[in-house]
A and B are shown apart, each in its own frame.
Chain A
Amino acid sequence: MRQKRRIACIAVDEFPLAALYRVEPELRGRPVVITEGVGPRAEVISVSAEARRLGLCTGLSATQAQAVCSRVVVRPLCADNLLGAENALLDLAHSFSSCVENAGFGVVFLEASGSTAMYGSEERLMAAVSAQGQKVGLTLRVGVGSSKVVARLAASVSEALAVPAGEEASFMASLPIDLLEPSHEVALSLDRWGIRTIGQLVSLPADQVVTRLGKPGWELVRRARGEDTALLCPSAPAREFVEATELEYPVDNMEPLLFVLRALLERLVARVKLQGLTAGSLRVSLWLAGMARGETEERTIGVVSPTDEVKALLALLRVELERKPPSAPVERVQVTIRPARPRPVELDMFSPARPSPRKLAATVAKLVAACGVNGVGSPYPLDSYRPGDFRLDCFPPARKRSAEGLDASCVEELSHLALRAIRPPAPVEVFCDRGWPVFVRGRGFGGRVVNTAGPWRVEGEWWREGSFSREYFDLEVSDGGIYRIYRDLASQNWFIDGTYD
C-alpha cells in the first residue's frame, strides 16, 4: 500500500522580530518593535508581545510608537538579520530532511514521512525540530498534515500540532479565512460578504464564488477544501554559510569590530554544526564608510586545520585585521564560512615541527602593528580648511585617483611656490611689535624679519572637539630663508609650518 503523504511546516512567528532576537538575544522580554521605511515615516511591521501589551501595534509610525511608550526599543528592519535567520531555518530543515521547500519569510516545508520513521512518531519529530530551533536561536512552530496548507494551518494555530489524515475538513472549518492569506482584493470582498471562516467559504457554491472572484477565488476555495496536491519545490542545502550585520554606527576600532565578528561566528558555527561540518575557510567582507555602492573590502583566510571553534576562528580574523586594518570605519560586515568535512589528523613522528601558518600570519600582522598601522597607506587631501588635513587610504590604493579628481583649489596650491612642509609643525620663538612678527628663532633658522605677508586666518570645525584657529604669516627672514609660521590663537603659541624652496 502506498504511504500517505505527510508534510511538516516549520514556521517562525513575527519573523523580523525573531530574526532580531537571534542577533540580539538580550532584547527578549523587552518591548521591541521593528520598523520598515526611512525617517519619521518608518512604519512598525513587527511587535513583540511585551510591546503589544503596552498598546503598540503594527501600522504605527516609529515616532508614534515612541510617543506611546518611550522605553520601547525601535529597530529598523534589517535585511542581514532576515537572511541569516532564513538560512538558519533552512539549515535546520535540511538537518531533518533532504526535501525542503523554502516558502519564505520564516516558513519552510519538508517531507515528513521519512523523518517520522526515524523519530518514531510525528510528535517526537516535532519536539526534535523545536529543540534544534533553540540551538540556532529561533523559536519555532511545527505543524504536520497531509498537505502544505493543512501543515501550515496546524503550525499557525499551535506550537506543535499534527492533523491526522481524514480530519482536515473538521480541523479547518472554524479557522479564520485570513489564515489562507487571500489577496487583498479577495479578502476585502469576502469581508464585505461576511465570510470570516474557512467553513463559511466552503459552504458557498464554488462556481458562483469563482464567477465573482476569478482565479484567485478558485485557488482559495481549493485551499479551503484542503485540496492541495502541490509538490514541494526542494531547495539545495547551503554550500556556504553567510551571516552579515549592518553596524549601528561606523566602527573604526578593532575591539568593537571583533565583538561583532564573534557574534557572527557564533551564529555561523551553530549552523555549520547542524550539518555536521566544520569551517574550511573564512571570508570577511567589509563595507567601509565612503566606499561606492557595491564596493567591499574582502579578506579571505584559509583555515589550515578545519575547525568549529569560535575562539580559533576569531583569532584568525583578529590577526588578519590587525595586519591590515580596514582603511575606513566599517559600516557593514559579512562573514562567510566555506564548510569542510572534519578530517582526522595523524601527526608525523619524524619531521621537525613547522610553524603553523596561523601563527606565522599572526607574527606578520604584529610586525605591521609595530610599525604603526596609521603609517601605512597613501595620503589624500580632504575638503577642509584645516591646514594639511588628509586621510590615509590603504596601500595599494583602494580607489584609482587622478589629478582630475583633485579639488581645483588643491591644484592652485600646487602651482605656486613650493612649500616644504614641516610635520609635525615645530614650535618657534617669535617677537612681535604691535602684533607683527619682527624677529623669529627656531631650530636651525632664525633672524630679523625683513618682509611679512599675512596674516591669513583659518578658523573652523567649531562644532568638533578639535576645532582650530590659526593665523599664518609668510616671513622673509634675515638669514635668507622664507618661512611660513603660524600662531595658534587658542594657545597663542607659534609654530613653523614650512619653508619655501
Chain B
Amino acid sequence: MAYVELRCASAFSFLRGASAPEDLVERAAALDYPALALGDRDGLYGAPRFYRAAKEAGVHPIVGADVGLRGGGRLYLLVENRQGYKNLCRLITAGQLRSPKGTCESLWEEVEECSRGLLCLVGAKASPLSPYLPRPGHPGDLEGACRELGRLASIFEGRIYIEIGRHFDEREERLNRALIALAEKTKKPLVATNDVRYACRADRPLLDLLTAIRLKTTLDAAGRTLEANSERYLKPKRQMEKLFCDLPSAVSNSAEIASRLSFSLHDLDYRFPDYPLPAGETPDGYLRFLTYAGARERYGAIDDRVRRQLEHELGVIAKLNLAGYFLIVWDIVQFCRRHGIMAQGRGSAANSAVCYSLGITAVDAVGMNLLFERFLSEERGEWPDIDLDLPSGEERERVIQYVYHRYGGPHGRGAAMTANVISYRSRSAVREAGKALGFSLAQVDRVAKLLRSHGYQDERDGLEEQLRLGGIDTEAPRVKLLVELAERMRHLPRHLGQHTGGMVIGAGRLDEVVPLEPASMPGRVVVQWDKDDLADLGIIKVDLLGLGMMAVLQEAFPLIKECDGMDLDMAHLPQDDPKVYEMLGRADTIGVFQVESRAQMAILPRMKPRTFYDLVVEVAIVRPGPIVGEMVHPYLNRRAGRERVTYPHPCLEPILKRTLGVPLFQEQLLRMAMAAAGFSGGEAEELRRAMGMKRSLERMKQIEVKLRAGMANRGITGKAADDIVKSITSFALYGFPESHAASFALIAYASAYLKAHHPQAFYCAMLNNWPLGFYHPATLVKDGQRHGVAFLPIDVSHSRWRCTIEPRGQGEKAVRIGLKYVWGLRREAGERIESERDRAPFSDLADFSRRTQLKRNEIDALAHLGAFASFGLRRREALWQVAAIVQDPQSLLAGVKPAATPPATLPPMEPIEETLADYRESGLTTAEHICAHLREKLSAMGVVKCNELESFPNGLRLKVAGHVITRQRPGTAKGFFFLTLEDETGTANAVVTPALFTANRALLVNSSLLAIEGKLQKQDGVIHIRALRFHPIDVGPFLPASHNFC
C-alpha cells in the first residue's frame, strides 16, 4: 500500500497556503513520495515552479486546481492528460474573466463542457456536497448528497472520488462518517487526502498569520477562523496509512489515481502564431529576403563578414524554426514605423545582425563584435527574448492594442500581458505581519520605515539587525515573533500584478496553454505566470516597454526638422561626434539618458568617453553589480594608465581584454564561468538566469559551489578563484549585458547629440515628456539657459498646452513654456485657451475671462505667473483686475470693465517675488535663478558660485550655496549622503559623512536652499565639496522639491 498526497495548496493560493511549491516538493522528496499534486485556488499560478522543482527532485508533479463555482462551492480538479490540462485552463479562464478581480466563478455548463481529461475529488469542505452533509442543527440529507454526487458522476464519468481527510478534529470525523456512508450507498471510491497547506508542522504559525492578514484581522481576534491544530502539513506516508488503517482502499486509491495522472507541463502544445506570408513564400525564405533587404539599407554594400554573420544567424533561426517569431517582431516594428512611433530593440536581441538588419535593433552587432549566442543558440534550444523600447504613454498603448488585435485570434484569447508575481518584501512583510500580530498602525509604520527598501543589502543585514539599529527591542516576545514570521513571509507570493510591457501571444487559444485573468487595468488580460515561468516552459513573450527618453526623441526629431530644417533620425545620427564626447567628458549631462545621475557624472570626467564603446561601458559601469564587485576603480585606473592590466587567470585574457581585465558585462561573466570553471552552455545559461532573477541570492549560492568545484578542477584556487567568484556573484545584484548597454548607449548618445547640437528641441521635448530622468523641469530650464537656449514665460497669447519652439526675431528661436506647467490649470481649460485664441486673439483680460470661462483659481494663477503680460499688464495689475472680474454672466456687473490701474499703495512685485511666484504657480522659472537674487547676501556670507569651484585649489575650505536638486543615500555608499546644489551658474555636489548626516538630518532632509561649508575635493576633473557645516537659507516653501533617493 502506498500513499500519494493529492491535495496541496501552496502560497500561490494567496494567503491560503504557507509554503512555496519548492518547499512542498522538497518535503515530498524527503518523505519519498513518488508523486505530489498541487491544486491552488482558482489558478495554476504555482504550477511552473512546482513542475521545475519536482523535475529536479525526481517527484512526479500532478497539476490541479481548486476551482470556484458560481453560486458557491468549489471543485478540486486534477489533470489526467493534455486535453484535461487545456480544459482546466479554459475553465479557470472563463471563471476568472467573468468575475471581479481576485475571484473565479465558473459555470456548471462550463464544467460540463471542460470535464474531459479531468479528475474530480469531492469532499466535505466547500464542495457541492457540503450543503447536504450534517452541520450544526441539521442532521444532513443523504438523499440530496446522492443526487448531487450523481450529477457530478455524470459529468466526470469514472473520474470522481469522494475525498476524506483526518486532522484529529471531532467535527470533521462526523462529516467523514457521512461521506463514508455516501460512498457505500453510491458505490463511489473513497480517497484519502490531507488537504496540505504547508510543508512542515512548524509552518502552521505562518498559515495562521496569513489567514489573519487575509481576513484583515489580528491573530487575537481571528478566533476559530484559524486552524484548530497543526495537522495540515505533508505527512509521512506511514502516518497517513495509520490514520486511515480502517479505510485502506482510500489510501491505495490515492496511489492509483496518481498513476493515472500522467500529464506533465513539459509539453504544453504552445505554438507561436504564424506570420501571414505573401503567397508562395516560406517563413525562412521571406525572413531571408527581408533581412538582406534591410542589411543593404543598413550596411550599404554587404561585405563578407556581415554576410557570414547573417548566414550563420539565419541558419540557426531556420534550424530552431524561429523565422515566424522574427517576422512577427519585424511586423510590430513595421507598425511602429508606419505610424511614426519610434521603436528600438534592447536586451540580448542587440547581439543579432539579423535583428539589426530587420530594423528591430539599432546596434550593429557585427561592427561591435557582439556574441550572437548570448541571444540565440542551438544548444539552449529556447525562445529568444526581444524587448522593444517604445515611447511611453499613448504611443506604447497603440502598439499593445495592435498586437492584441492582430494576434489575439478570433476569440480574443490569443494574446495577453505577462504577469508579475508580487512577493512579500521586508517592508510589506513587516507591515502586514505586524498588523496581524496586533501592533498599532503607527508602530507598524515606524518599524517598516526603518527597513531599507532600496539599494544593496548585505546578507548579514537581516531584519532583526535593522530593527535593532532602529532602536526596536528585538528581545520583546512579540517583536521576536514579528521578526521570525516576517523573515519567513519574505519571498512568498502576495498577489499577481501586471508586467510593465511583456506580451504573450500564441497561435490558437492561449487560454488552453495558461489560464488568463483580468488585469486591474480595464481591457487588459494577464496570464497567470511571470516571465521566468514563461521562459521555463518555452512560452514566448515580447516586451513592449515604455521609455520616457524614446518619447523625447520621438518628439524632438520632427521639432528639429521644423525649426532647423534638418531631417534626423536615430539610425542616421552622425557617429562619434566630438562635441558630444567633449560634453560627456565634462559631465555636462543633465537630461541625457542613463548618464545624468550624480554617480554617472562623477565617473564621466574620469572616463572621458571618446568612442561609442566607451559610452557602452559608461552605461554599464555604474550599476550595483560592478560597484559592489569593486570593478569600477580598477577599470578607471587601468584606463588612466595608473594600474597595470592584469587578469585573474590567463585563460580569461581573451574574454576580458576589451574591458582591460575587468569584467563589466554579463556576457563576460558567462564566458568566464565557461573558461575558468568549465561550465557548459546550459550551466552558463542557468547562471545568467540566476543573475537576472529576484530569487537569485539562493540560486547564486548553489552556483558558487559549482563554480569553485569547477575552478578547483582546473587548478584555479586561492585569490584568483575568490576574485572570479566575487566578480560573478556580485552580478547577481544587477549588471547589464553588453548588448543591452549598447542599446541604451545608443539612446544616451542620441539624447546627448540632441543636447549638444539641437538644445532647443531637446529641452522642449524633455519638458513635454516630463516626468522622466533625474531632474525637475526647473533644473532643466536653468541647464538649458546655461546652454544658450532662450525660454519664454507662459503667456496666454502665445503658450500652447505643450511647450513649443517659437521665433524671436532675427532668426532666433526660443522655447515657450506650455500651459501644462500652470499648476491647477485643467487640460481642457488649457485647450480651450488655445482654441479660443486660434479663433481670434484675446483683446484684454476681460475678453479672455469671458471667452475661456476659467475657474477663479486658474485665472489667478495665470495672473500671478505674469501670463497676461501680452495685454500690457504687470503681475499685480493683472491680479488686481482679475479679482474684480465678475464671472457670473447673469450678473448686472458682468460687462463692466474693472479699473485697470491699481491703487498707488499696492506694492509692485520685486524681482525675487516674481521668481518665487513662478516657482509657486508653475514649478519653474524662465527668469533669473533664485540664487541670482540672493547673490549679494550670499557673497556677504563668503559663498562662492558653483562655476568658480574649478578655479580653486584642492583642499581649500569654502562655502557654496544653492537650491538642493537631488539627495541620495545609496545602499552601496556605506551611509554617506550626497546632495547636489544648483545656483545661477551651475551645479555642485557635496558629500556628507554618516556622522554629520545623523547630526544634521533635519536640516539636510528638509532645507530647499542650503549653504554648505566644506573642503574642496578635486580628482581627475571631478569636483566635490566634503561638507563640514551647513547653513539653511529660508526663501519660503515654494522651491521645487529635490529628487530624493534616501
CA distance A74 to B442 in the complex (A): 10
> Which residues of the other chain, A, contact B136 by a CB distance below 8 angstroms?
408-409, 411-412, 415
In the complex, whether A457 has a CB less than 8 A from a CB of chain B is: yes
Contact status A192-B879, CB under 8 Å: yes
CA distance A409 to B449 in the complex (A): 42
In the complex, whether A213 has a CB less than 8 A from a CB of chain B is: yes
In the complex, whether B610 has a CB less than 8 A from a CB of chain A is: no
Cross-chain pairs A/B with CB under 8 angstroms, 9 sampled = A39-B442, A40-B445, A189-B860, A200-B907, A204-B906, A454-B168, A463-B478, A463-B481, A471-B168
Known: A194-B876, A204-B905. 9 other contacts (CB 8 A): A67-B1005, A192-B879, A194-B908, A208-B884, A411-B137, A412-B136, A458-B229, A463-B437, A463-B481
* Across the A-B interface, the 9 shortest Cβ-Cβ residue pairs: A55-B1002, A383-B223, A412-B136, A212-B883, A40-B445, A457-B168, A39-B441, A457-B229, A203-B905
> Which residues of the other chain, B, contact A74 by a CB distance below 8 angstroms?
442
> Which residues of the other chain, A, contact B883 by a CB distance below 8 angstroms?
189, 211-213
Give residues in A with beta carbon < 8 Å to B. 38-40, 42, 54-56, 62-63, 66-70, 74, 188-189, 192-195, 200, 203-205, 208, 211-213, 382-385, 407-409, 411-412, 415, 454-460, 462-463, 465, 471-472
In the complex, whether B368 has a CB less than 8 A from a CB of chain A is: no
CA distance A458 to B883 in the complex (A): 74
Contact status B903-A462, CB under 8 Å: no
**A39-B441, A383-B224, A459-B230 are known contacts. Are A193 and B880 too (CB-CB below 8 A)?**
yes
CA distance A69 to B136 in the complex (A): 57
**A55-B1006, A456-B170 are known contacts. Are A382 and B906 too (CB-CB below 8 A)?**
no
> Which residues of the other chain, A, contact B170 by a CB distance below 8 angstroms?
454, 456, 472
CA distance A459 to B917 in the complex (A): 66
Closest Cβ of chain B to A473, distance in Å, is: 11
In the complex, whether B231 has a CB less than 8 A from a CB of chain A is: yes
Closest Cβ of chain B to A289, distance in Å, is: 12
In the complex, whether B573 has a CB less than 8 A from a CB of chain A is: no
In the complex, whether B82 has a CB less than 8 A from a CB of chain A is: no
Closest Cβ of chain A to B270, distance in Å, is: 45
Contact status A462-B205, CB under 8 Å: yes
Partner of B228, one of A63, A66, A454, A460: A460
CA distance A38 to B444 in the complex (A): 13
In the complex, whether B226 has a CB less than 8 A from a CB of chain A is: yes
B1032 nearest in chain A by CB position: A55
Closest Cβ of chain B to A455, distance in Å, is: 6
Q: Which of A457, A459, A460 has the most CB of B within 10 A?
A: A460
Contact status A212-B884, CB under 8 Å: yes
Closest Cβ of chain B to A44, distance in Å, is: 13
CA distance A55 to B1005 in the complex (A): 10
Contact status A68-B1005, CB under 8 Å: yes
Closest Cβ of chain B to A57, distance in Å, is: 8
Contact status A456-B907, CB under 8 Å: no
Partner of A465, one of B223, B477, B876: B477
Contact status A204-B168, CB under 8 Å: no
> Which residues of the other chain, A, contact B1002 by a CB distance below 8 angstroms?
54-56, 68-69
Contact status B168-A455, CB under 8 Å: yes
Contact status B230-A194, CB under 8 Å: no
Number of A-B contacts (CB under 8 A): 126
CA distance A458 to B228 in the complex (A): 5
Contact status B446-A66, CB under 8 Å: yes
Q: Which of B158-173 contact A (CB under 8 A)?
A: 167-171
> Which residues of the other chain, B, contact A193 by a CB distance below 8 angstroms?
876, 879-880, 906-907
Closest Cβ of chain B to A423, distance in Å, is: 20
**A212-B883, A212-B884, A411-B137 are known contacts. Are A456 and B223 too (CB-CB below 8 A)?**
no
Please report the total number of B residues contacting A with Cβ < 8 Å.
52
CA distance A62 to B441 in the complex (A): 12
In the complex, whether B909 has a CB less than 8 A from a CB of chain A is: yes
> Which residues of the other chain, A, contact B906 by a CB distance below 8 angstroms?
193-195, 204
Partner of B860, one of A55, A68, A192, A412: A192
> Which residues of the other chain, A, contact B1001 by a CB distance below 8 angstroms?
55, 67-69
In the complex, whether B219 has a CB less than 8 A from a CB of chain A is: yes
Contact status B229-A409, CB under 8 Å: no
Mark contacts of B420-444 with chain A using CB atoms, 8 A cut-off: 1 yes-contact digit, 0 otherwise.
0000000000000000010001100
In the complex, whether B913 has a CB less than 8 A from a CB of chain A is: yes
Closest Cβ of chain B to A213, distance in Å, is: 7
Mark contacts of B138-181 with chain A using CB atoms, 8 A cut-off: 1 yes-contact digit, 0 otherwise.
00000000000000000000000000000111110000000000
> Which residues of the other chain, B, contact A192 by a CB distance below 8 angstroms?
860, 863-864, 876, 879, 917
Contact status B880-A55, CB under 8 Å: no
> Which residues of the other chain, B, contact A42 by a CB distance below 8 angstroms?
442
> Which residues of the other chain, B, contact A68 by a CB distance below 8 angstroms?
1001-1002, 1005-1006
Closest Cβ of chain B to A403, distance in Å, is: 11
> Which residues of the other chain, A, contact B228 by a CB distance below 8 angstroms?
385, 457-460
> Which residues of the other chain, A, contact B860 by a CB distance below 8 angstroms?
188-189, 192
In the complex, whether B72 has a CB less than 8 A from a CB of chain A is: no
B921 nearest in chain A by CB position: A192
Closest Cβ of chain A to B808, distance in Å, is: 29
> Which residues of the other chain, B, contact A194 by a CB distance below 8 angstroms?
876, 906-909, 913
Closest Cβ of chain A to B383, distance in Å, is: 44
In the complex, whether B1003 has a CB less than 8 A from a CB of chain A is: yes
In the complex, whether B667 has a CB less than 8 A from a CB of chain A is: no
Contact status B449-A456, CB under 8 Å: no
A202 nearest in chain B by CB position: B905
**A55-B1002, A193-B879 are known contacts. Are A384 and B445 too (CB-CB below 8 A)?**
no
> Which residues of the other chain, A, contact B223 by a CB distance below 8 angstroms?
382-384
Partner of B445, one of A63, A195, A385: A63
Closest Cβ of chain A to B442, distance in Å, is: 7
A60 nearest in chain B by CB position: B1006
CA distance A40 to B444 in the complex (A): 9
> Which residues of the other chain, A, contact B204 by a CB distance below 8 angstroms?
459, 462
In the complex, whether B387 has a CB less than 8 A from a CB of chain A is: no
CA distance A74 to B668 in the complex (A): 53
Closest Cβ of chain A to B611, distance in Å, is: 45
Partner of B229, one of A63, A188, A205, A459: A459
Q: Which of B969-1015 contact A (CB under 8 A)?
A: 1001-1003, 1005-1006
In the complex, whether B1 has a CB less than 8 A from a CB of chain A is: no
CA distance A188 to B879 in the complex (A): 11
**A39-B445, A456-B169, A463-B437 are known contacts. Are A212 and B224 too (CB-CB below 8 A)?**
no
> Which residues of the other chain, B, contact A382 by a CB distance below 8 angstroms?
223
CA distance A486 to B167 in the complex (A): 17
Q: Which of B819-878 contact A (CB under 8 A)?
A: 860, 863-864, 876
B167 nearest in chain A by CB position: A457
Q: Which of B471, B1001, B1003 has the most CB of A within 10 A?
A: B1001
Partner of B905, one of A62, A200, A454, A471: A200
Contact status A385-B884, CB under 8 Å: no
In the complex, whether B313 has a CB less than 8 A from a CB of chain A is: no
> Which residues of the other chain, B, contact A55 by a CB distance below 8 angstroms?
1001-1003, 1006
B231 nearest in chain A by CB position: A457
B882 nearest in chain A by CB position: A212
> Which residues of the other chain, A, contact B908 by a CB distance below 8 angstroms?
194
A54 nearest in chain B by CB position: B1002
> Which residues of the other chain, B, contact A189 by a CB distance below 8 angstroms?
860, 879, 883
> Which residues of the other chain, A, contact B167 by a CB distance below 8 angstroms?
457
Contact status A67-B449, CB under 8 Å: yes
CA distance A68 to B1006 in the complex (A): 9
B860 nearest in chain A by CB position: A192
Contact status B445-A462, CB under 8 Å: no
Closest Cβ of chain B to A391, distance in Å, is: 13
Closest Cβ of chain B to A316, distance in Å, is: 34
A66 nearest in chain B by CB position: B446
> Which residues of the other chain, A, contact B905 by a CB distance below 8 angstroms?
200, 203-204
Contact status A463-B880, CB under 8 Å: no
**A205-B903, A211-B884, A463-B481 are known contacts. Are A456 and B168 too (CB-CB below 8 A)?**
yes
CA distance A36 to B584 in the complex (A): 50
Contact status B208-A204, CB under 8 Å: no
